[in-house]
Amino acid sequence: MLKKSHTQKNKFLIYILIPAFLFLGLFIYFPVIKGIFISFKNYTLFDLSNTQFNNFQNFKNIFTDQNFRFIQILFNTIIWVVISLLFQFILGFILALLMKKPFKGRGLYSALVFYPWALSGFAIGLIWAWMFNGQFGVINDILLKLGLINSNIGFLSNPKIAMISVIVVNIWYGVPFFAIMLLAALQSVPNELYEAAKIDGAGPVKQLFSITIPYIKPTIISTTLLRTIWIMNFPDIIYAMTNGGPANSTNILATQMINKILKFYDYGQGSAYGVVIIAILLTYAIIYLKISSKKGNDNI
C-alpha cells in the first residue's frame, strides 16, 4: 500500500514537471542545439539553395576576417565586461552599505536608485545616445555652460572615447542590480557579530573585511558570475548608441553576432559567433567556480 502511494506521488511529480521540461526544451535547448548545427553550415539568406555543411569554415572566416578583426572584437569585449563589472560591483556595494541602515526617505531613495534596472536596455541606449550626441547633446551643452570644454566633444563619434561613453552608461544601468542583491545579503548578517567585533575593538574597516565580506561571499560569487554572463550577452546599449562603431571601437562579440545576421544575413557566421561566446562563458564559469570553491575550502 505504501509502495503504491509512493508510485502515485512520483507520477504526479513527473506530470507536474513535464510542462517545465517542454518549455526548457522548446525555448532554450532546441534553439541552442539548432544554432550549433547552423554554425557548421553555409547558411545565408542570399543563397538558401546551398545550405550544406562547410565544417569549420564559418569559424575560420571569423578568425581571418580583416574587416572585423577577431582580436580587436575580443579585446573590446574584455574591456566592456571587466570595467563595467568592476565599477558596477564597487558602486553597487557602496550603495548597499549606505542603504543598510534605515533613514528618512529610504523608500523613495531606494526607488530612485533601483529605477534604471526596470528600464529596457535598448531604450536606455537611445536616451543616452541623444544625451551624448556630439552636436546637440545635453551633456556637451552642460559642459560648455560650465566652462569645462571649449567645443563639443564627439563622445560617440571619436573612436578613442566611444567605448568609455558606452561603458559609463552600462555602469549606470548595472549598479542597481548589485545594490539590490548585496543589500538583501547585508541584511542577513547578524548584528551580534558586529556587536562582538566592537567589544573586541574592531573598527568599521576591519568589520567589513572580517565579517561582512566573508558572510556575504556566496552572494558576491553568484552575482559577479551572473552579471559577467549578462554583460557579455548584453549588446542592447552598444547597439542603440553606436552599433559597434566608430571603426569597430565598440564592437563586441554580441554586437558582431547581431550584425552578421541583421546586416549581412549570414546566419552561419552569426551562429558561429554565438558558439564562440558560449565556449568563452562556459570556460570562464568553470574556472571561476573552481577558483572560488578552492578559496572557500582554504578559508575553512
- Separation CA 223–CA 219 (nearest Å): 6
Residue 300 has pLDDT above 50, yes or no: no
| Closest to 246 in 3D by CA, of 163, 168, 167 | 163
Bridge partners, 41 (sequence order)? 53
Residue 134 near residue 161 (C-beta atoms within 8 A): no
- Look at residue 16 and tell me whether its pLDDT is greater than 90: no
Average pLDDT over residues 207-219: 91
The residue whose grid cell reads 569549420 is 56
Fill in the DSSP letter of residue 117: G
Judge whether 275 and 36 are in contact, CB under 8 Å: yes
Cut 0.85: pTM above it: yes
pLDDT at residue 296, rounded to an integer: 58
Three-state DSSP state, 266 = strand
The grid cell for 232 is: 557579455
Q: DSSP for 31-59? A: HHHHHHHHHTB--BTT-TT---B-TTHHH
Residue-level pLDDT at 88: 95
- 86/250 Cα distance (integer angstroms): 18
Does 162 or 118 have the greater pLDDT score? Answer: 162
Query: Residue 200: pLDDT band by 50, 70, 90 thresholds?
Result: confident
Burial level of 108, CB count in 10 A (0-12/13-18/19+)? exposed
The backbone torsions φ and ψ at residue 277, rounded to the nearest 5 degrees and listed phi first, read -60, -45
Looking at the predicted structure, is the pLDDT value of residue 81 above 80? yes
Contact between 56 and 141 under an 8 Å Cβ cutoff? The reply is no
Cα distances from 171 to residues 83, 99, 115, 168, 213, in angstroms, run 9, 19, 14, 5, 22
Other Cβ atoms less than 10 A from the Cβ of 201: the count is: 7
* pLDDT (0 to 100) of residue 116: 80
Taking residues 71-86, report their average pLDDT: 96
**More confident site: 220 or 6:** 220
Grid cell locating 216: 556575504
Residue 136 has a pLDDT of 86
pLDDT tens per residue, range 106-139: 778 777 878 887 888 889 999 999 999 988 899 9
In terms of Cβ atoms closer than 10 Å to its own Cβ (0-12, 13-18, 19+), residue 71 is: exposed
Summarize the confidence of residues 23-27 as an average pLDDT.
91
Spatial separation of the C-alpha atoms in residues 76 and 254, rounded to whole Å? 11
Rounded to whole angstroms, the Cα distance separating 60 from 112 reads 47
Model confidence at 2, pLDDT cuts 50, 70, 90, reads low
Is pLDDT of 213 > 80? yes
Q: How far apart are CA 183 and CA 222, in angstroms?
A: 14
Look over the chain and give the mean of its residue pLDDT values, rounded to a whole number: 89
Residue 287's pLDDT band (boundaries 50, 70, 90)?
A: very high
Which helix (H) or strand (E) segment holds residue 280: the answer is helix 267-299
Mean pLDDT of 76-87: 96
Beta strands in the chain (DSSP E): none
For 262-284, how does the pLDDT look when each residue is reduced to its tens digit (9 = 90+)?
999 999 999 999 999 999 999 99
Question: What is the pLDDT at residue 46?
Answer: 85
**Lookup: cell for 207:** 568589520
C-alpha cell at 218: 556566496
Is the confidence at residue 8, as pLDDT, over 80?
A: no
pLDDT (0 to 100) of residue 47? 82
Task: Record the cell numbers describing residue 242, joined without a space.
Answer: 553606436
Segment 30-50 mean pLDDT: 89
